[in-house]
Structure 1
Amino acid sequence: MYCPNCGTETNPDSEFCQKCGTNLKEGTRNTCVPPNVTYALPLKSTGLAAVLSFLLAGLGQVYVGKIARGIIFVCVGVCIGILSTILMLGGIEIDTNGELSAYTLSYFIAGAAILIAYLVFWVWQIFDARNLANQYNDALRQTGNPPW
């Protein structure tokens, strides 16, 4: 039997908890695992997972243990950044004197559209990292083992 107040293991015949003095005869007896369970692995911080993903897409996923998913997200972010930069700068035309002679608007629009799509992906992956941390913590609390 465990004390319902502090979780200390007590003698089933005791009237009071030896540690905190709670009356054990009142109410229901707590014969389950004590409330102060320590896990073999620490829980993951949902806030830290979100902040890491805010700083670099995919870093929060790596933090919660989804390494391949995080690396894919980092690669997607880098590729989209390079592609949009090339498109936005690709429309600049410089004449022989080294001055800007024209700018093709279609390149800029394509680059801007890709950047907007990336911003949507970036916000989504922040929430994904937070949700993965919650899933990790829930599985750890229920089974005592990490889910992946």
Structure 2
Amino acid sequence: MKNSGLAAILSFFIAGLGQIYNGQIGKGVIFIVCYTISAFLMIVIIGFITTPILWIWGMVDAYKTAEKINAAQNRVG
């Protein structure tokens, strides 16, 4: 069982960490890389739009994925 709240909180502090907690290592690394690039893009203004979007998307995705994992486990076991 995955704690969906913990997954969201981990992504709150480090984008992609919630995905890694959920077992989606590749997806988590992609989030981390994209978030880092987006943060550097703040130099040319566009990062001020993309960074919060990626941050929020990462938290929501981590939460929903943990919920899906739990629902699948409840059906099986």
Whether TM-score is above 0.5 comes out as: yes
Q: Which runs of 4+ in 1 moved over 6 A?
A: none
Q: CA RMSD in A?
A: 1.2
Q: CA deviation at 1:113?
A: 2.6
Q: Going by fraction, where is helix more abundant, 1 or 2?
A: 2
Q: Distance in 2 between matches of 1:129 and 1:140?
A: 17
Q: How many residues align?
A: 77
Higher normalized strand content (fraction of residues):
1
Q: TM-score, normalised by structure 2?
A: 0.90
* Rg larger in structure: 1
- Structure 1: 5+ residue stretches without partners: 1-42, 89-110
Name 1:129's counterpart in structure 2.
Answer: 62
CA shift at 1:123, angstroms? 0.6
Taking the aligned partners of 2:30 and 2:46, their CA distance within structure 1 comes to: 21
Contact 2:40 2:47 in 1 (8 A): no
Indicate the residue corresponding to 2:13 in structure 1: 55
Gaps of 5+ in 2: none
Q: Which residue of 1 aligns with 2:52?
A: 119
Q: Which has the higher contact order (CA 8 A, sep 6+)?
A: 2
With the length of structure 1 as denominator, give the TM-score of the two structures.
Answer: 0.49
